[in-house]
Each structure stands twice: as C-alpha cells, then as structure tokens.
Amino acid sequence: MTGRTVRIGGGAGFSGDRIEPALDLLARGDLDYLAFECLAERTIGLAQAARRRADGAGFDPLLDERMRAALPLAHPRGVKIVTNMGAANTPAAVRRVTEIAQDLGLAGYRTAAVVGDDVLEAVLAGDFPLLDREGSSRDLGSSVVAANAYLGAEGIVEALQGGADAVITGRVCDPALFLGPLIHEFGWAADDWERLGQGTLVGHLLECAGQLCGGYFADPGVKDVPDLARLGFPYADVGPDGTVEFGKLSDAGGRLDAATCKEQLLYEILDPGAYLQADVIADFRHVRIDETGPDRVRVSGGTGRARPETLKVSISYDDGYAGEGQISYAGPGAMARGELALDVVRDRLRLTGAAVTDLRFELIGVNAVDRRGRPAEGEPTEVRARVVGRAATHAAAERIGAEVEALYTNGPFGGGGVTRSVRGVLAVASTLIDRALVTPRVHFEVA
C-alpha cells in the first residue's frame, strides 16, 4: 500500500445492531472514521410515521444510546462519525447530538446535517412509474406518507470539508456513508469512476458491519465461526488510489477471510456489473479477494462507470393492517390436528364474513418457510398453525387472531400457546427521480 492510508470502521449494520463492537473499535481500533448504517428500506417510513404521530422525534430510536456511548471515545481520539440515523428528521437528530455533546462536556463539538433526501412534495406533484410492479405513484393516492431519494456522498463530503466531527444524514446510498470520507480525504474527482467504484466496494463490504466478520455465516460443522457472542466489527485501511485491506480486532470474535468477504461482496447485489449508486454505477465483476494475514484480506478490482441521471426513491405508504394468530400442537397426530385447526379457521372466517384478504394458512415446522417443491418426509413432533391476512381496518384484522384464539375451546384437542397480533402495514414502493429535482444541503450546529 502506498501513501497515507485512512482507517474507516463499520459500526452498525442495521438500526437495532449491537453497540459494544463499535465501542470496541473506537477504543482500540485506531480509527479515523466510524460509520453507522442504521436505515433499512422501511425504517425511514416508520420514522416518518412516528414523526407525524408526534410520539417520536422521527430519527433513529437508538441515536441517544449510540451517541452517548460513542462520542466520549471518538472525540478525544479525533475519530469522525458518519451515520444515517437522522432518518426522517435529520435536523432534530443533529440538535440532539449537539445536546449530548454539551452534556458530555465536549465544547465545540461540530455536528452536520445533510438534508434534501425528502422528495415527498416532488413525488406528490408528479406521477412516477413504480419500479418493481405495475402502476405509478399516483395510484397510491393519499396513502403515501413519505418519499425519500437515495443521495450520494456529496453532502457528506461538504460536511467533512466544513469541519464536522459528526455527520448525520437521512436517506443516502449506504456505501456513500463510507465513500464520503474517502472522497474527502483523497480528493477523488466526481467523475473518477474507477476510484468511486472501488470506494463503493469498500462501503458495500463495511455497511453490514458484523456480516463481514462471520455474522450471518455460521453453519456448524460446515462453516464454523468462533465466538459469535463477541463478534467483532470490521474496518478498512484505504490508500489514496483505493487500494484496500480489511481487518478486525484480533481478539474480537468472528472470522474475516476470503469466504466471508465473498459472501458479503454479492450480498443484495443484483447485476454485479451494474450496482447502481447515486455517485457511480459500480462494477464488481472483476473483484479479487486475497488473504494477506490472519483476519486480514485485500480486495481489489472494483471499478465503475458514469453515474445514473436518476436517483432511486423509496415511497412509503399505508397499506392497511395485517392480522395474525398462531397456535401449537404436539405429540402423535400433531400435524393432522394443525391442519384441522387451519381448516376450522378458514371456515370460520368465511362463515362470519370477515373482511379479510390475502389469507395464508401455514404449519410452522412443515411449510411456513420451506419453499422446496417436494413434500416433507416424516411426521414432525410439533407444529404451529399460523393464519395471517390483510384488512382495511384494525377491527377486521383482529378477527383473524380472535378465530385462532377461539380454537382453545372450539378446535382440535391439545392446542396451546396462542399468540395474536395486529400491525399497521407501512409498505415501500420504489421509483426513480431526475437528480435535478434533488438538492442536498448541509448545515452545522456546534456544542
């Protein structure tokens, strides 16, 4: 590796991820940057809904806990933090981080907000064809609650150039959380597609945190992973030309090797030759992965070509309610009693005229997640009957769980452990928007 390297860590792979591995990296990892990726496809819609109900601030629910723990470690070491924990209310998240910094006595702590991903007005004003199904945004009508464009690294770079200690965003492309610091450090041009493609590769490998270090990998006796309860999070040492090696703290749990990197390389990638990002169309077809030491892997060969003229937009919309009920059976004949239970609930919902659709009748342990074409062999020793469906109203959705619960005294013998639930469904549809309609903006607050 030639020239100065920058070390950047992956501090979270989803909103509810473990916090200690990130703190461990901050304390002992000699990091320059730590990025927390906390905003899954639907999380921003949930945050938007919480903000509308005014029972939540609209930013990540773990923002306080993460930042109160991370800032006292990061600030004295000069580690800058980048995160999309702003969710649906980045300005409020930045105010909260500034308050936390004040509480912690970190005078002068400078937090940047990257906003501009909220494109609800533009989406409501126009009509946009949906990507993964028929129809257009207008078909969703008044059920639309949020529309957020996937921004690139531009705002993050501007924030770091403005001296931010922490950068908080809403919706950005996940790899941009990592690409932003690299562009800032190395001055990569906005049309240096090869570097931007390789930098996107770095971000893609880090964005799921523990998954690069053996999380979501173990298969006992086939693919063993040591000490998953103490799974370490990864970091990357990146050079000015995009050369990169990945590592983890040697005494943390997990493993980081060619196999874990290969799996993460293709994770949630569709066409490996065209990974569409706001900053570049990345190309991972010719990536090489070489183990260079224990828990140490060099990854090379990421490249890219000119960025798309459109940005992806997630449209969150209310999609009614899902009602569900479950009940278990065990012992000889368990499966037949489970099937009888499903039949009874099916008949009851029909006889009572319940206003429910898209019903699913499944036996957990037999066919609830198993999609293989051939029938299961042998009789399971226990099954759990599951009925789920949609309804337009909460009351109608309750009917499903109620009929499952009534099996206690009206159904087959030996049914136990009923659970029932109703949840509001906040669905996400995707579309594309002209990037000219989206303007990232940055502002700062200082503790």
Partner 1 sequence: MILRDIAHVRTGDKGDISQIAVFAYRADDYPRLLAAVTPERVASHLGRLPSRAITRYELPGLCAVNLILEGALLGGVTRSLALDAHGKTLGAQLLDLPISPG
What is the binding site for partner 1 (CB under 8 A)? 41-42, 45, 131-133, 216-217, 219, 222-223, 259, 262-273, 285-289, 301, 316, 319, 322, 324, 358, 360, 362, 364, 367-374, 386, 388-390, 425-428, 430
- On whether the CB atoms of residues 341 and 407 are closer than 8 A, the answer is yes
Nearer to partner 1, 53 or 133 (CB): 133
Least distance in angstroms from the C-beta of 287 to partner 1: 7
Residue 362 vs 405, nearer CB to partner 1: 362
- Nearest-approach distance from CB 377 to partner 1, in angstroms: 11
CB of 148 vs partner 1, minimal distance in Å: 14
Residue 403 CB, shortest distance to partner 1, in Å, is: 16
Q: Which is nearer to partner 1, 33 or 321 (CB)?
A: 321
Question: Minimum Å distance from CB 133 to partner 1?
Answer: 7
Residues 6+ apart with CB under 8 A from 440: 114, 115, 116, 117, 151, 152, 154, 155, 158
Q: Count how many Cα atoms sit within 13 Å of the Cα of residue 120 in the half-sphere of its side chain.
A: 13
161 vs 292, beta carbon nearer partner 1: 292
8 A C-beta contact, residue 338 and residue 414: no
Dihedral pair phi/psi, residue 289, rounded to 5°: -125, 120
Nearest approach in angstroms of CB 310 to partner 1 is 16
Compute the distance between CA of residue 261 and CA of residue 390 in angstroms, rounded to an integer. 39
Measured distance CA(38)–CA(159) in Å, rounded: 19
Q: Which is nearer to partner 1, 55 or 134 (CB)?
A: 134
Instruction: For partner 1, give the closer residue by CB, 60 or 362.
Output: 362
Shortest spacing between CB 368 and partner 1, in angstroms:
5
Based on CB atoms, which residue is closest to partner 1, 115 or 261?
261
Distance, in Å, from the CA atom of 384 to the CA atom of 228, rounded to the nearest integer, reads 29
CA atoms within 13 A on the CB side of 232: 24
Rounded to an integer, what distance in angstroms lies between the CA atom of residue 406 and that of residue 402?
A: 6
* Phi, psi (rounded to 5 degrees) for 17: -65, 160
CB of 355 to partner 1, least distance (A): 16
List, in sequence order, the alpha helices (H) in 172-248: 176-186, 193-206
Q: Which two tokens mark 129?
A: 């064809």
Q: Which of residues 51 and 96 has its CB atom nearest to partner 1 in the complex?
A: 51
E strands present in 212-256: 235-238, 244-247
Q: Is 433 helix (H, G, I), strand (E, B) or coil?
A: strand
